[in-house]
Amino acid sequence: MNLIEKYAVEVGKYLPSRNRADIEAEIRSTLEDMLEERAQAPNADREALTLQLLKEYGAPRKVAESYGAVQYLIGPRLYPIFEMVLKIVAAVLLGVGLLGFGVNAVRMDMAGPALVHALGKLFVDSFGGVMMAFGNIVLVFAILERVLPLSDQKDLTDEWEPTDLAKEQDPDRTKISDLIAEIVFTIIFLALFNLYPQYVGIVIFNDNQWTFIPVLTESFFRYMPWINLLWALQVGLDVWLLRKGMWDVATRLINLAFKLGSIGLAYAMLIGPAIIKVNTESLAGTSLAEVARELSPLSQFILIPFLIAMIIVPVVEIVQTVVYLVRRRPPAPFPVK
């Protein structure tokens, strides 16, 4: 991919998806035509002419703004990440809802009008939850837009250089999309477990109605102070990294400490009392009692691999960080010529 291709793609990152491809093609065609005109001169250096042309054309974000790609509540620097997070959350909610509906449809042997009725009721009941998640994501991004002086603001000025497209990524430079996604999902889960724990459970279709069964036990809420502490500190570190724009030894060591804390917490949940359980006692004497007894082992079957993953993933990240810190070269005290 040459610099003109990279430039068109870079502009496209800040454009609405509905007309992104057309505008990228237009920019690419325009730049190639302009380059061909300038390259007619004898002894023309195409690479130098390309750099000069892109410099004159302007920073990708400013070019995108000229096509009307301006957002107000969430600005262009965060909008691509906001769109990515929103798609992930929507896919997860849709997947979980359809999975639960499929299990209940097979179990109840639903067909015909009953199936359509159950699907419609699931959609209506899920709409409120989807809107709540959407509102929380918008709120978090709107706050971030106004309080974070992101390190890539230089792209909004005339100091942008086309050669930046060919540079290798600095391993110590923070990845803004990863940090913001971690902040958003952490805040969503903090709100869910602290404000709406009653919505964590299993939905069962029985007797032509949907019944919700909470699954969090008292043992889970004993871990909540530690969960809140670790996640709040992680959000604080992510915000600091967004403001700073670079990793250093201190922030990497702090992040290692948080990873170790999350491993210890996951291990305690794994060997301790059950943190999720289908409450069969409260359903005794009802038509759902037998269904609850069938689902109770399934909940543990899902939880155990999840907790194991919460141990393995941080261990891999810790090993990668330690290897990087050991091999990392200290910065030179003076320019090397």
7: Cα within 13 Å, side-chain hemisphere: 26
Q: Output phi, psi for 213, to 5 deg.
A: -120, 110
So what's the pLDDT on residue 38? Answer: 83
Q: Check pLDDT > 70 for residue 144.
A: yes
Under 8 Å between Cβ of 133 and 89: yes
Residue spans per domain, the chain: 1-69, 71-159+169-327
Predicted confidence (pLDDT) per residue in 252-264, tens digit: 999 999 999 999 9
Q: Check pLDDT > 80 for residue 9.
A: yes
Cα angle 178, 91, 173; round to 5: 5
Most confident of the following: 90-104, 137-151, 173-187, 224-238: 224-238
Predicted confidence (pLDDT) per residue in 83-101, tens digit: 888 888 777 777 766 666 6
Q: Please give the single-letter amino acid code of residue 124.
A: V
Instruction: Quickly state the pLDDT bin for 154 (edges 50, 70, 90).
Output: very low
Instruction: Quickly state the pLDDT bin for 333 (edges 50, 70, 90).
Output: low
So what's the pLDDT on residue 206? Answer: 58
SS3 335: coil
For the segment 167-177, the average pLDDT, to the nearest whole number, is 75
Under 8 Å between Cβ of 77 and 13: no
- Measured CA to CA, the distance from residue 78 to residue 138 in angstroms comes to 11
